[in-house]
Amino acid sequence: MLGIFAGWLGAVVGIGGGVVIVPALVLLFHFDTKVAVASSLVAVVATSAAAGSAYAGSGQLNMRLALTLEIATTMGGLAGGVVAVLIAPTVIDGLFALVMLVTAFLVLRGRDEHGEVVGEAGAVDVGAHGDPHADSHAETVSPVPTVPDAAPAMAAGSDDPVLACAEAAGGERAGAAAMVASGKRVGWEERGRLAGAYHDLTTDALVTYRAIRLWIGWAVSFVAGLLSGLLGVGGGFLKVPAMHLGMKVPIKVSAATSNFMIGVTAVASLFVYFARGYVLPFAAAPVALGIAVGAFFGAKSSQRVSGRTLGRILAGVLILVAVQMGLKALGIANV
């Protein structure tokens, strides 16, 4: 049951569930911390694989964005392993708690101010469910077009916004198709590769987006990898806000992309634990089985949960873990 709950939460929010697994295994089942961390990493990989396989078919997983950020995350993970022997764990724990509290605040503030739907002037009209006064610059929403054969027209250079949406439905690159007509200079993020589109089932609208400020994603991903190497967590709790708030990627895409990323990141750490004998199959197997089931249903249900709800769940998880880590840093709790 612990695994199922952690898996659902992880898939919906975009974290690996390790923040639930590790303290539960140590406090409730009295496992050694390193064994608990190794079991958590197994669970993180299972969550990532289960949710990632579900997300891959939904259009929410942006593979190019994932691997672009994964470079920084895995490098951070390597650095984290080295830094771990030089810095007192309490310093890291305190920093951890502070970062998560700030992030939770930003997520709640961002949701309240900008709402669920935003638009981009001059690209694609905001759809029937959109907020015309929103001020983000990277995400556009439009009703799902009813003309399925419109893609060829856009590929040929049409500037019709409805046709642009139809074309954008074809895949992750095409979110930048709406920029084509302007012929403006484009960079790494705007090349149609760190952009995309997905059909939001909660609003029945096609959401197109393009990632901006890639440097933020790289920087935070490096830090997430660093913390992953230090603490044995996936780091999705940092990457999801970074992608959503910093890079203006829709939260559902951020969660889906993060879910795939955390599995890749966890693999590097898990190999080390595996090689050193910290993997306890009898402890990890039940958790992995439960979390895979929970993650699968979490990924399915996330398509029917509003982005606002996702943001609140994310903020709640961040605050809970921040309190947990803060108590540990102060020596009050030995988790």
Q: Is 35 in the site for another protein (CB under 8 A)?
A: yes
Q: Is 105 in the site for another protein (CB under 8 A)?
A: no
Query: Using CB under 8 A, which of the segments 11-19, 124-132, 266-274, 327-335 binds another protein?
Result: 266-274
Q: Is 45 in the site for another protein (CB under 8 A)?
A: yes
Yes or no: say if 104 and 174 are a contact pair by the CB < 8 Å rule.
no
Distance set, CA 208 to CA 98, 202, 218, 298 (Å): 33, 15, 22, 23
Distance set, CA 116 to CA 67, 150, 244, 306, 321 (Å): 26, 27, 12, 8, 25
Total length of the chain: 335
Q: Is 172 in the site for another protein (CB under 8 A)?
A: yes
Residue 263 CB, shortest distance to another protein, in Å, is: 4
Query: Using CB under 8 A, which of the segments 18-26, 66-74, 130-138, 303-311 binds another protein?
Result: 66-74
Query: Using CB under 8 A, which of the segments 18-26, 75-83, 140-148, 230-238 binds another protein?
Result: 75-83
Q: Is 299 in the site for another protein (CB under 8 A)?
A: no
Q: Looking at beta carbons only, is 69 or 134 nearer to another protein? A: 69
The 10 Å CB-count burial string (b at 16+, else e) for 153-178 is bbeeebebbbbbbbbbbeebbbbbbb
Tokens describing residue 172:
């992750």
Q: Is 248 in the site for another protein (CB under 8 A)?
A: no
Amino acid identity of 36? A
Residue 157 CB, shortest distance to another protein, in Å, is: 5
Q: Looking at beta carbons only, is 53 or 309 nearer to another protein? A: 53
Yes or no: say if 14 and 254 are a contact pair by the CB < 8 Å rule.
yes
Q: Looking at beta carbons only, is 99 or 197 nearer to another protein? A: 197
